[in-house]
Amino acid sequence: MLTSLKLRFGRLRILIGTVVMDRITKAARLMIVSDLDHTMVDHHDPENMSLLRFNALWEANYRHDSLLVFSTGRSPILYKQLRKEKPMLTPDITIMSVGTEITYGDLMLPDDGWVEILNQKWDRNVVTEETSKFPELTLQAETEQRPHKVSFYVDKTKAQVVMKELSDRLKKRGLDVKIIYSGGMDLDILPQGAGKGQALAYLLKKFKNEGIPPVNTLACGDSGNDAELFSIPDVYGVMVSNAQEELLQWHAENAKDNPNVIHAKERCAAGIIEAIGHFKLGSNSSPRDIADFVECKVDHVNPGYEVVKFYLFYERWRRGDTDNCETYISSLKASCDPSAIVVFPSGAEKTLHECMHTLKVHYGDQKGKQFRVWVDRVLSTPIGSSTWLVKFDKWELAGDERCCCVITAKINVKGSGGSDGYTWANVQQKWLEGYEKKDDSTWLF
């Protein structure tokens, strides 16, 4: 396992407890710890626009030196299901089942140290025995019952009384538990030391022990189980505009004078972007908000920005969202080495300039259809003084079909430090297993 990780990243490794974290070798500039349902993911936006805006911002400006942590109430099964349904990025760390399960990296290696801590004063059997005496409680799906989490549904009107009584009974049985009410319907019972806030505190302590505490941390949430994220010291917090009543009430009673926690004006991921701006944690300008990259000269200080911009243009061109204008294609061609080759997943080869020509004739071929492109896991490694090897996943959603290529590209720096832009040299593509495109004639590059 460790060897494969080492090969995959080919980088210095950092030992966090028993688990190896490869990517971050110095303090993260920003660590975002975000809830998923109704925070990162807006279930009322079928186009997923704010999520896609966040993704572009993260991969262009933060992925290379910051940490993305997802913190969800979902079990691993429901979390993986959500990832299949929505255009979500791959986080560096995943906290699941309301802070009772922590995993690292793409491989989701579990933190066994956390499990040991949670075993203290916890007896699942006693919890199920006592809860069975409450007819008001309806057990949630089997997938959501976890080693350190027992979950029910309970009516809003009965929640407070049930929680009080249950807490007394479990105390009498010698257990030290935490009962959390979320979304006006979910009731979770966890060990006292568990929860999203405790999991975050545990991670922060680990980073501190490694001598790399994040420079800034931003917690993001919308419901009851997110409340404790906002009481961890030295953490900025954003409750998205659509936050649930129980969270707003908790805030009014416990944190209303804390200027480091805001209630955003914007919904979901747009609220997260708003908070990055509000607390001045770094750039809050998503490449998706820039209408014209030819007109708007941004400092391309890292290759991630170039990759995001390149595929954003590709999406807009095929959607017919830009003008069908020769200048755009010429400018794109100018950012490609004339001899650069693209190796397709089939093994076929074309020059990048040929690909640009194909792109030109596909202007607007996805107009009026559901068509989105995003990149994930952009990882840039310098090779030589003015060349980067950039590895990333390029996702394409066309109608109901979602496919993905793992791409490795050689990108050269023009001028000094990328301020004059980049040129694309060779590009190698491989299907991500399970996400091959059936008819690959419309996979342009």
Does 288 contact ligand GLC by CB under 6 A?
Answer: no
Q: Is 7 helix (H, G, I), strand (E, B) or coil?
A: helix
For 129, residues 6+ apart whose C-beta sits below 8 A from its C-beta are none
- Number of residues in contact with ligand GLC under rule CB under 6 A: 11
Does 393 contact Mg ion by CB under 5 A?
Answer: no
Q: Interface mask (CB under 5 A) for Mg ion, residues 218-257, using x and -?
A: ----xx----------------------------------
Q: Provide the minimum distance between the beta carbon of 244 and Mg ion in the complex, in angstroms, as a whole number.
A: 8
| Partner touching 427 among Mg ion, ligand GLC, none, CB below 5 to 8 Å by kind | none
96 or 204: CB nearest ligand GLC: 96
Q: Which of 14, 27, 40, 78 lies at the binding interface for ligand GLC (CB under 6 A)?
A: 78
37 or 228: CB nearest Mg ion: 37
- Sites for Mg ion among residues 304-363 (CB under 5 A): none
- Sites for ligand GLC among residues 181-200 (CB under 6 A): 182, 186, 188
Are 440 and 344 a contacting pair, CB within 8 Å? yes
Q: Provide the minimum distance between the beta carbon of 190 and ligand GLC in the complex, in angstroms, as a whole number.
A: 9
Does 140 contact ligand GLC by CB under 6 A?
Answer: yes
61 or 151: CB nearest ligand GLC: 151
Nearest one of 52, 46, 57, 55 to 90, comparing CA atoms: 55
Q: Which of 9, 20, 28, 38 lies at the binding interface for Mg ion (CB under 5 A)?
A: 38
238 or 405: CB nearest Mg ion: 238
Does 188 contact Mg ion by CB under 5 A?
Answer: no
Does 144 contact Mg ion by CB under 5 A?
Answer: no
Q: How far apart are CA 351 and CA 346, in angstroms?
A: 15
Q: Assign 3-class secondary structure to 94-157.
A: EEECCCCEEEECCCCEECHHHHHHHCCCCCHHHHHHHHCCCCCCEECCHHHCECCEEEEECCHH
Question: Scanning the structure block, which residue is given the tokens 């908790």?
Answer: 250
Number of Cβ within a 10 Å radius of residue 369: 10
Nearest one of 82, 53, 86, 54 to 68, comparing CA atoms: 54
Q: Is 91 left (phi over 0), alpha (psi -120 to 50) or beta?
A: beta
22 or 42: CB nearest Mg ion: 42
Q: How far apart are CA 427 and CA 445, in angstroms?
A: 9
Does 30 contact ligand GLC by CB under 6 A?
Answer: no
Beta-carbon-side half-sphere exposure of residue 1 (alpha carbons within 13 Å): 11
Q: What are the residues facing 69 on neighbouring strands? A: 33, 93
Instruction: Report the residue closest to Mg ion, judged by CB.
Output: 37
Instruction: Report the residue closest to ligand GLC, judged by CB.
Output: 73
Phi, psi for residue 114 in degrees, rounded to 5: -65, -40
Q: Which of 16, 73, 201, 393 lies at the binding interface for ligand GLC (CB under 6 A)?
A: 73
Q: Which of 34, 66, 100, 151 lies at the binding interface for ligand GLC (CB under 6 A)?
A: 151
Does 267 contact Mg ion by CB under 5 A?
Answer: no
- Sites for ligand GLC among residues 95-114 (CB under 6 A): 98
Are 57 and 283 a contacting pair, CB within 8 Å? yes
Are 201 and 229 a contacting pair, CB within 8 Å? no
Does 74 contact ligand GLC by CB under 6 A?
Answer: yes
Q: Interface mask (CB under 6 A) for ligand GLC, residues 222-241, using x and -?
A: ---x----------------
| Sign of the dihedral through C-alpha 81, 87, 91, 96 | negative
- Residues forming the site for ligand GLC (CB under 6 A): 73-74, 78, 98, 140, 144, 151, 182, 186, 188, 225
Contact set with Mg ion (CB under 5 A):
35, 37-38, 222-223
